[in-house]
Chains A and B, each alone.
Chain A
Amino acid sequence: MNNTELELLKIIADMDGKPEGAFNIRANGGLADRQVTENIDIKTKTDKPGIDIIIKPGTKNEKVHIPVIISETGLSDTVYNDFFVGDGADVEIVAGCGIHNCGSEESRHDGIHSFYVGKNARVRYIEKHFGEGDGNGERNMNPTTIVNIAEGGYMEMETTQIRGIDSTNRVTLAKLDKSATLIIKEKLMTHGCQHAQTDFTVDLDGENSSANVISRSVAKDNSSQTFLSKINGNNICSGHTECDAIIMDNAHVSAIPEITANHIDASLIHEAAIGKIAGEQLIKLMTLGLSESEAEEQIVNGFLK
């Protein structure tokens, strides 16, 4: 891999050289490197592009890195990755996609990730998306995340779109069994003429299942964002969805939370707030010696931290 690709790996997956534990690096539509461990196996799919990540039951404190990088202009890469997390496992999965496009054609990555989280298993999933390059070809990413959590399972997703993605349609579909928990923390920034759509659908099917979907976003320049979040309470359950957005310049933001209770003991809450940076916040930081633009940057960075 060249320096640009290595730099992308650092940004999207905090990888500086080979990480410890299992990993699979996909570069420009092909396998660049892979490592498996005693407890975590990674197999190439034979029917379609992608991999199966198989984590043995009871695996504890292990990490899996599965970054994707694209540095060729005009490349459209679709990949299907399935994660089988065994009962009682406790692991961290670091994904992420970086595109460096210096050409005039669209570079695109569509990643379809399916998670099968076993009984009482715990997963922390970290996903970062980033685009760069001085070409006028678009950098587009469309991640689809399908989550199935078995009884007592727990999954925490931290998904971040750092910058540089022209168009993204981020779909997450989740089904939770008895006493399963899903926490989603999304951070998103759009600028220029970019568009981002986020679409969460969570089915709380199991008794005492719970979900908390939190999105913080910043829309700058002429960019636009749409936040859709649906939580369906189909049993005794609790669900909360929250969208908090800072709007700047000529941007547009829509937040459309939807909660549906199909059970008398479903407890569901939605919150959405969109607004510009409060003048008093800028003034406070300016009284500390920051310029207006520095104050704005601090507020945005803090909001998305």
Chain B
Amino acid sequence: MLSLRNLSFSAENESGEKEILKNINLDIEDGFSVITGPNGGGKSTLAKIITGIIKPSSGSILLDGEDITGLSITERAKKGISLAFQQPVRFKGITVHDLISLAAGKSISVTEACDYLSEVGLCARDYINREVNASLSGGELKRIEIATVLARSTKVSVFDEPEAGIDLWSFNNLIKVFEKMHGKSGGSIIIISHQERILNIADKIIVISDGSIKATGKKQDILPELLGKTDIGCEKLTCEAENQ
């Protein structure tokens, strides 16, 4: 279980110091947890704090009871925390096969690498030897990014807006990927998303707005209010049909 205790984060901007996250207290158990809320509310910042990319101004992070607040990105990765970036990173010279092997932590066969790519809806043999660079489209890069997290198979997997830049077919596929992943790893899958269909597969929904947790609870308790009302601190979610 991942626990966040009294977590705050402030950053300097033109108008002085701004509090991005305010006293976050949260327990994330095994299963699907979806973090949602308006843009600029602090969701991606929270993902970066969980993975060690940025350090909190105060508070602590516990993984299965162990305080990991002071651990580096690498140390947290080795403890079993993964992140699929919202904006995938490009590499000149590193192939898709290389990147998936690095994610798996060992040299893996072409067939194994292709299996991960197929899971995210890529026709694997067409991609395996391509460089992870600008020759790939945003949607292709996004799916490769998700495949790297699948290859890691860690106890905590964080996906920052996995649906962004993905076509409808792949989006349908993505839902199946998450379900399969949960069954396989049995760990915590944390998805930052605005998508109703992703919210629908959540065991737990956390609503973050203006740096604070506005609501948290089971899907059946949070989702109706989230879709129908605006009184939990964020705007009504946009319907999936309108988005795609």
With A288-B102, A288-B103, A288-B152 as contacts: A305 and B89 at CB distance below 8 Å: no
Stretch at the interface among B59-67, B70-78, B226-234: B70-78
B150 within 8 A of A: no
B57-105 with Cβ < 8 A to chain A:
72-74, 77-78, 81-83, 85, 89, 91-95, 98, 102-103, 105
* Interchain CB contact (< 8 A) of B89 among A244, A281, A292, A304: A281
CB pair B94–A292 under 8 Å, yes or no, is no
CB pair B92–A302 under 8 Å, yes or no, is yes
**CA distance in complex: A289, B98 (Å):** 14
Interface of chain B, main secondary structure: mixed
B94 contacts across to A, CB distance below 8 A: 298-299, 302
B134 within 8 A of A: no
B148 within 8 A of A: yes
A302 contacts across to B, CB distance below 8 A: 91-95, 98
B85 contacts across to A, CB distance below 8 A: 280, 284
B148 — nearest CB in chain A belongs to which residue? A288
A184 within 8 A of B: no
A284 contacts across to B, CB distance below 8 A: 85, 89
With A286-B74, A288-B77, A292-B74 as contacts: A244 and B105 at CB distance below 8 Å: no
A283 contacts across to B, CB distance below 8 A: 53, 73, 89
* Interchain CB contact (< 8 A) of B51 among A287, A291, A299, A301: A287
With A287-B83, A288-B103 as contacts: A303 and B92 at CB distance below 8 Å: yes
| Residue interface mask B91-124, A partner, CB < 8 A = 1 | 1111100100011010000000000000000000
* Interchain CB contact (< 8 A) of B78 among A289, A303, A304: A289
Q: How far is the CB of B160 from chain A (nearest CB, A)?
A: 11
**CA distance in complex: A192, B102 (Å):** 28
B89 contacts across to A, CB distance below 8 A: 278, 280-281, 283-284
With A285-B102, A288-B148 as contacts: A305 and B93 at CB distance below 8 Å: yes
Write the residues of chain B forming the contact surface with A, with a CB cutoff of 8 angstroms.
51, 53, 72-74, 77-78, 81-83, 85, 89, 91-95, 98, 102-103, 105, 148, 152
What are 22 residue pairs bridging A and B, where the CB atoms are less than 8 Å apart in the complex? A216-B93, A278-B89, A280-B89, A283-B73, A283-B89, A286-B77, A287-B51, A287-B53, A287-B83, A288-B82, A288-B103, A289-B78, A290-B74, A291-B74, A292-B74, A299-B91, A299-B93, A301-B93, A302-B95, A302-B98, A303-B93, A304-B93
4 other contacts beyond A287-B51, A290-B102, A303-B92, with CB at 8 A cut-off? Answer: A287-B53, A288-B77, A299-B91, A299-B93
